[in-house]
Chains A and B, each alone.
Chain A
Amino acid sequence: MVVLIFGFFTFNAQVNMENRGIEFGYGFLSQESSFDVQFSLIEYDGSHSYARAYLVGLLNTLLVAFIGIIFATIIGIIVGIARLSPNYLIERSAAFYVEFFRNIPLLLQIFFWYFAALRALPLPQDAEAIFGVFFLTIKGLFVPRFVWENLDIFFYSLIAATISIVVIRNYARKLQESEGKQLPVFSISIGLLIILPLLAFLIGGVSLSFEMPVLEQIATTSFKYNGGLGLPPELIALTLALALYTATFIAECVRAGIQGISKGQKEAAASIGLTPNQILKLVIMPQALRIIIPPTTNQYLNLTKNSSLAAAIAYPDLVLVFAGTALMQTGRAIEIVSITMLTYLSISLAISVLMNWYNKSIAIKEK
């Protein structure tokens, strides 16, 4: 039945396209795109192909989804735990945040952060430096760019630090299992992470300098920043809106997860003399995570799909660049929309697979 319906639509589309003289094909992907994009992670201009424009959009979508997920998770966990705080003020303000942000449509929030921020932020020439190095202006956030020398040695030191941390953790676990001794793994890890790169700086000849953004005048009242790293306000507004919105749902997942653990677990843990921190880390969280992960996966997927609202505020994501400009310039609606749909499907499936894998790794292992 499904195949028949699908076949009917395909057949119909073919007949209609033939009647209207539209040709079907993906050849356009290798043609010159001849439009520019405001913000790109890879080198791109109009002389590149549509395929590359697609890649630009895809990377921008992944970027905003990645940053959004990280911030949403951090805010979500903090707010979720705060909602269970015995402190009335903290608990109430967390509840207020959740109820406020999750009950306003996301598109409105995106507009709010974008246009409110645009109106509230200063023009480049009026901007005061934050901590002497950041400039937050209507044209974006400008931060110093790192200029590295002997970057590879720095990387090696980081890798060395990571490996030694893993080794020490394994050793500490064995030590605890065989002799019951506990090593301060956390402070040792931090120490390693600081000392090894520091050594690289001192001995390995790694040096780091900053390239500061410099204001340049391009007309009587028009200014821009030269050098440094510029983040467009569209990216900032979109990430902010997505993270704050999704965090409310994640916070509720976290709260539900923690509340889902029976009181007896906590009391039993306390009765064998664990500290409150240890109770949360060793008893509550490992069990709560099993409840938290599946609904949180949904939220990650939602955030990724919601990032397509970027088109409304000119952030050049996949929908704006590829399903927007490229579709318009080529007129190949069926081809481009199908590619875009498949892309979102693949991203979502990839996130699902990753989260399911993580979920499995923390699930109860029945032996």
Chain B
Amino acid sequence: MLTIKRGKKMYKYIKRITSFVAMFAVLFVFAGEAMAKKSKTLKNTQKKGFVRCGVSQGLPGFSNADASGNWTGVDVDVCRAVAAAVLGDAGKVKFTPLSAKERFTALTSGEIDILSRNTTWTLSRDADIGLTFVGVNFYDGQGFMVRKDSGITSTSQFKSGISACTNIGTTTELNMRDFFTSKGISYEPVAFEKADEVVAAYDAGRCDTYTTDKSGLAAQRTKMKDPDAHIVLPETISKEPLGPVVRQGDSVWEDIVRWSLNVMIEAEEYGITSANADSMKTSENPAIKRLVGAEGELGAAFGLDNEWSLRIIKQVGNYGESYKRNIADPGILPDRGPNQLWTKGGILYVPPAR
């Protein structure tokens, strides 16, 4: 009697231990599988049939949804280019609007696969928090907007006690401190979570100045009650190279996003547009032929076909077309400034696609 009871107990005990072991074994198998596959992101994207892209909550010219939910902007076009390259259709993108605070967590947690949300490339972001910046699609700098009737025409006229509205969780907050502290001006930072509230508060008179990236200032000005009552001061107080970001650890996906952007810029350099891309296949120039997939095997390195770059150019257009459509034509920043090709006096310079 007693031995049977003990045997039963023993049996139960063993059963429990085995189930524990089995559970951990399952965990390790999952973890091992995750590490074994190299471009998990590409595979997942092709399986899902759309690119998961994180964008802003509404910044005209960069990423902005119209009334029927169509996203446009230069940041949006980067994601569309990737979709054209890996899925063959620039429309197959699922956009997730993110606040400045949420954006990196959304990317590192795997909710999105590309973050293309006017994000400044800095050392700490690149190195510290599991992100990789793949390039620059807009060279920007932080500036200030003031009301015209304040009589301020330069940041040198700022005086102690000025209140400045801005967003939280951006490099803006740090630059603002560097700027005011170096000038010895005391200021009142009023930091909101969403850009719309910043604009509303500044517009109502809560702050004397509104500071963010100059492109952002130009874009938000168009949203104000009376855009002509405000001016953007000429000074630029920081370098803000904005670009798309991917998760660390998937170098093939990283390369796909990097070169999708580079192809757009290089296409402009060689004068390939969405209109003439097909006819460029018969070009004399081998560099052009490579870009439109008529020569070489550029796609193979990413596990893509040879027409991936042609699809980008045909469906999204080159960088110049994207800029003109999204930023210049709506009157946000008609002058390309530094975002001009290096051959035309700007600083857009990408490594050759060969």
Interface residues of A (CB under 8 A from B): 4, 8, 11-12, 15, 17, 19-22, 34-38, 45-46, 115, 118-119, 123, 138-139, 216, 218-222, 224, 226, 232-234, 311-314, 316, 320, 324-325, 327-333
| Partner of B177 from A35, A123, A330, A331 at Cβ < 8 Å | A35
Q: Which A-chain residue is minimally distant from B128 (CB atoms)? A: A331
**Known contacts A19-B34, A219-B152; is-contact A320 B128 (Cβ 8 Å):** no
CA distance A331 to B107 in the complex (A): 12
> What are 20 A-B pairs with beta-carbon distances under 8 A?
A12-B27, A19-B34, A20-B249, A38-B191, A45-B177, A119-B204, A138-B205, A218-B159, A218-B162, A218-B208, A219-B152, A221-B149, A221-B151, A312-B197, A313-B197, A324-B101, A324-B169, A324-B193, A325-B191, A331-B128
Residues in B with CB closer than 8 Å to A312 are: 192-194, 197
CA distance A89 to B26 in the complex (A): 69
* B 180-208 to A, binary, CB cutoff 8 A, 1 in contact else 0: 01000001111111100100110011101
Is there a chain A Cβ closer than 8 Å to B31's Cβ? yes
The answer to whether A226 and B161 have CB atoms under 8 Å apart is yes
Residues in A with CB closer than 8 Å to B188 are: 38
The answer to whether A216 and B161 have CB atoms under 8 Å apart is yes
CA distance A19 to B174 in the complex (A): 30
CA distance A14 to B169 in the complex (A): 25
The answer to whether B205 and A328 have CB atoms under 8 Å apart is no
CA distance A115 to B181 in the complex (A): 30
Most buried by A among B147, B151, B174: B174
| Partner of B206 from A34, A138, A311, A333 at Cβ < 8 Å | A138
| Partner of B159 from A34, A219, A233, A234 at Cβ < 8 Å | A219
Q: Which A-chain residue is minimally distant from B181 (CB atoms)? A: A46
Name the interface size band of chain B.
35 or more
CA distance A220 to B129 in the complex (A): 45
> Could you count the A-B residue pairs with CB atoms below 8 Å apart for me: how many are there?
142
CA distance A226 to B186 in the complex (A): 12
Question: Apart from A328-B170, A329-B124, what 16 extra A-B contacts exist at CB < 8 Å?
Answer: A15-B34, A19-B35, A20-B249, A21-B249, A115-B204, A219-B151, A221-B147, A222-B152, A224-B161, A234-B190, A312-B193, A312-B197, A314-B190, A316-B191, A324-B169, A333-B108
* B 49-61 to A, binary, CB cutoff 8 A, 1 in contact else 0: 0000000000000
CA distance A94 to B163 in the complex (A): 40
CA distance A324 to B257 in the complex (A): 29
Q: Which B-chain residue is minimally distant from A218 (CB atoms)? A: B159
Is there a chain A Cβ closer than 8 Å to B259's Cβ? no
The answer to whether B130 and A17 have CB atoms under 8 Å apart is yes
CA distance A329 to B128 in the complex (A): 10
The answer to whether B206 and A233 have CB atoms under 8 Å apart is yes
Q: How far is the CB of B302 from chain A (nearest CB, A)?
A: 21
Is there a chain A Cβ closer than 8 Å to B305's Cβ? no
Is there a chain A Cβ closer than 8 Å to B156's Cβ? no
Give the residues from 7 to 41 in chain B that come closer than 8 angstroms, CB to CB, to chain A: 23, 27, 31, 34-35
Q: Which A-chain residue is minimally distant from B209 (CB atoms)? A: A222
Most buried by B among A17, A218, A312, A313: A218
CA distance A20 to B127 in the complex (A): 11
Q: How far is the CB of B46 from chain A (nearest CB, A)?
A: 21
Residues in A with CB closer than 8 Å to B157 are: 219
